Amino acid sequence: MRIRLLGGLEVTSAEDRQVRFAMRKTSLLFAALVLAGRRGCRRELLSEAFWPGRSNEQARNSLRQALVDIRRAFPASSEAPVYIDGDQETVVLIGGLDEADISIFDRKLEAGGTADLAFAADLYRGEVLAGESIPDGLDEWFGPYQSTYRRKALQLVELLSLALSDPGSAEEPACEGLAERLLASDPTAEAAHRALMRIHILRGHENAAMRQFEACRALVRKHLGAEPEAETSSLAVSLQSRQRPEYQQTAPGPEVVPQTQVVSGPTKYHDRPSVAVLPFQNLSGDPEQEYFADGIVEDITIALAQFRHLYVIARNSSFTYKGQAVDIKQVGRELNVRYVV
């Protein structure tokens, strides 16, 4: 069976059928027990957190009903992969370490090999319980887990991008995909920007790497009112030193925007048809329509991403070309895509 918490909640039985619980809170209770692991959760804390405002007896009764719902889906037996155990004080979800994606994620991250890190990157489809409707109050229960695994994902994308040594490696798409997913939820995640910069550099696309830095700097200024971290700026400085002498006059300070340089490199497409949607130009003459144009691009990108047979470049990468005169073929090479809209 499989238990997925990263990027949503999905439970698949050993017979490959999707497990559905009778109530939404039962699903969230199951997730809480998965996250707690072998240490389990105290019944009193679960009752208070999941059924606030009720009397102690009513809350405990609701907890018992929810546990019955879980036990119905996972009957206890010596051969059951997952089952509920505990006593009058504690509830524990017993199961193999390979059943939950977060457990596998932790082990692969700890192992630290490049292949292990890439495996963990593919597992991180988003934040813990992303997209699930969490009632008020329970965000305090799940919030620390969400923060912890997001921090681990940022650590992972940094480690994996530093471990990549050859362009076109099997681990490269996993790193790129993780970086783009992190930026989709937080455009100011500098570890993800640095990872994409390193991937561009590895492919020989220094120009695209510098544009990634410029996009990072603009987003950090806009959302945080700050400058990029020292590590990000240092990577940009080292990148400038790799470019032609005329681009080495100054470091990428607050007002320096490097010129566009055409960089040739080997073309390598993804296994699936790949496409990038570039920013649309606002021809109305009304600056307020800029947001409308950007919104159309974002809607198209999201719509295309719904087709699983397509590999769609994230908006953050495509928008590094905003306001620039570009060569479509060069964009295709730099973003490693076959089609450009």
CB 239 within 8 A of CB 197: yes
Q: Is residue 85 part of a domain?
A: yes
Same domain for 281 and 181: yes
pLDDT tens for 103-124 read: 999 999 999 999 999 999 999 9
CA distance linking residue 75 with residue 70, whole number of Å: 8
SS3 assignment, position 276: strand
Task: Show the domain range for 269.
Answer: 164-340
Residue 92 domain-assigned? Answer: yes
H helix and E strand count, the chain:
13, 8
Directed axis angle between helix 190-202 and helix 172-185, to 10°? 150
* Distance in angstroms (rounded) separating the CA atoms of residues 12 and 3: 6
Which one of 241-245, 262-266, 335-339 scores highest in mean pLDDT? 335-339
Can you give the CATH number for the domain in which 96 is found? 1.10.10.10
- Pair of tokens at residue 225: 């009112």
Q: Please state at what angle helix 101-111 crosses helix 139-163, rounded to 10 degrees.
A: 40
Q: Decide if pLDDT at 142 tops 90.
A: yes
Q: pLDDT tens digit string along 203-236?
A: 999 999 999 999 999 999 999 999 999 999 999 9
How many domains would you assign to the chain? 2
190 and 332 within one domain: yes
- Clarify whether residues 175 and 101 are in a common domain: no
| pLDDT more than 90, % of the chain | 51
For residue 78, name the pLDDT band (cuts at 50, 70, 90). Answer: low
Whether 279 has a pLDDT exceeding 90, the answer reads no
Phi, psi at residue 313, to the nearest 5°? -65, 135
d(CA 155, CA 121): 11
Spell out where 25-169 has E strands.
41-42, 82-86, 90-95
Pairing state of beta strands 311-312 and 274-276?
Answer: parallel
pLDDT attached to residue 49: 93
Domain-embedded: residue 209 = yes
Q: Which residue has the tokens 């949607």?
A: 277
Determine the pLDDT at residue 38: 85
Q: Per-residue pLDDT tens for 16-37?
A: 888 888 888 999 999 999 999 8
Residues 1 and 62 in one domain: yes
Question: Is 266 contained in some domain?
Answer: yes
Cα(322)–Cα(215) distance, integer angstroms? 9
> Tokens 């292949």 appear where?
115
Strand order in the sheet with 339-340: 311-312, 274-276, 339-340
End residue of a domain, out of 128, 153, 178:
153
When the pLDDT of each residue in the chain is averaged and rounded to a whole number, the result is 83
Using H for helix, E for strand and C for coil, what is the string for 136-188? CCCHHHHHHHHHHHHHHHHHHHHHHHHHCCCCCCCCHHHHHHHHHHHHHHCCC
> Are 31 and 100 within 8 A, CB to CB?
no
Read off the pLDDT band of 162 (50, 70, 90): very high
User: Average of pLDDT values for 9-22?
Assistant: 87
Taking the C-alpha atoms of residue 280 and residue 341, their distance in angstroms, rounded to an integer, is 9
The per-residue pLDDT for 77 is: 61
Q: How far apart are CA 192 and CA 239, in angstroms?
A: 17
Which pLDDT score, from 0 to 100, does residue 214 have?
A: 92
Structural domain includes residue 158 = no
**Which single residue is written with the structure tokens 């320096």?**
256
Domain boundary among 111, 126, 153: 153
Inter-helix orientation angle 24-36/56-73, to 10°: 80
pLDDT for residue 317 is more than 80: no
User: 106, 122, 153: which is the final residue of a domain?
Assistant: 153
Lowest mean per-residue pLDDT among 260-264, 288-292, 299-303, 311-315 = 260-264
Helix then strand then coil, in percent of the chain rounded to 5, is 55, 10, 35
Q: At what angle do helices 206-224 and 328-335 cross, to 10 degrees?
A: 80
Q: What is the identity of the amino acid at 190?
A: E
Question: What's the DSSP call for residue 274?
Answer: E
